[in-house]
Amino acid sequence: MRRTVLFTAVVILGSVAVTGCENSQKTAKVIPIAVKKYAQATTLEGVVSNDSGVVKEGKVEVSDENGRIITGVTVENGHYSVEIPAGTVLPILLTFSPASGGEKLVTAVIHDTITKYEINPLTTAIAKSAKAMGGYTHANMTRAAADTVSTPDANKTTGGWKGDPTTQYGGWH
């Protein structure tokens, strides 16, 4: 009888301790993330290409993360230039649809100070990978780029990438 009481007491105390641990894990602090947006109207421009080279015709649509179209522009000789309205919240997606149909290409825009973005199969793979990691954040985009492209270790830093930031996520040289 004494062993049964002792065993029951140990089980109850163990349950309380485990329950206490679980409750403390549920009270994690939420860290607010600063919302980035364009303070003024900004023109984004770049080149659209696929595995065969520059894509001559199509359309680039700008949308938010939820797919809501913000604006669009026709691609001329592989180049696009589109004005993003002031107050547009980042991230946004630049999605290219070829005139002849076929695979859509995308790039994610997360920085309000960069205005040149390539749109190609590599930027598409990086954007898809970052989305799968939890969203279009700087950390996810950098990790997705590192996992997607073959870059010599000499070109990597703990803070991100060395090189020309105007060819973000898919345009490193």
pLDDT for residue 148: 83
Q: What is the pLDDT of residue 170?
A: 55
CA dist., res. 32 & res. 95, Å (int): 29
pLDDT tens-digit series, residues 127-136:
999 999 999 9
| pLDDT the model gives residue 7 | 45
**Per-residue pLDDT tens over the stretch 92-116:** 999 999 998 889 999 999 999 999 9
Percentage with pLDDT > 70 across the chain: 66
Residue 48 lies in a domain: yes
Q: Is residue 30 part of a domain?
A: no
End-to-end Cα, the chain, rounded Å: 77
Instruction: Reduce the secondary structure of the chain to three states and give it as a string.
Output: CHHHHHHHHHHHHHHHHHHHHHHHHHCCCCCCCCCCECCCCEEEEEEEEECCEECCEEEEEEEECCCCEEEEEEEECCEEEEEECCCCECCEEEEEEECCCCCCEEEEECCCCCCECCECHHHHHHHHHHHHCCCCCHHHHHHHHHHHCCCCHHHEECCEECCCHHHCCCCCC
- Is the pLDDT score of 165 beyond 70? no
Integer Cα distance of 142 and 126 in angstroms = 9
Query: Is the residue at 143 inside a domain?
Result: yes
The domain of 73 spans 42-167
Over 70: is that where the pLDDT of 13 sits? no
On whether residue 98 sits in a domain, the answer given is: yes
Tokens matching residue 41: 């109207």
Q: How many separate domains does the chain show?
A: 1
Q: In this structure, is residue 36 part of a structural domain?
A: no
Residue 5: predicted pLDDT: 42
- Of 18-27, 99-108, 122-131, 143-152, which range is least confident? 18-27
When comparing pLDDT for 72 and 172, which is higher? 72
Handedness of CA 82, 107, 50, 153 (dihedral sign): positive
The pair of structure tokens assigned to 10 is 């140990």
Q: What is the CB neighbour count within 10 angstroms for residue 14?
A: 10
Decide if 60 is inside a domain.
yes
Q: Output the pLDDT for position 34.
A: 75
Phi, psi angle pair for 28, to nearest 5°:
-65, 145
- Is residue 156 situated within a structural domain? yes
pLDDT of 28-71, one tens digit each?
666 666 789 999 999 999 999 999 999 999 999 999 999 999 99
CATH number of the domain encompassing residue 79: 2.60.40.1120
**Per the domain annotation, does 6 fall within a domain?**
no
Please report, as a single letter, which amino acid is at residue 162.
Answer: K
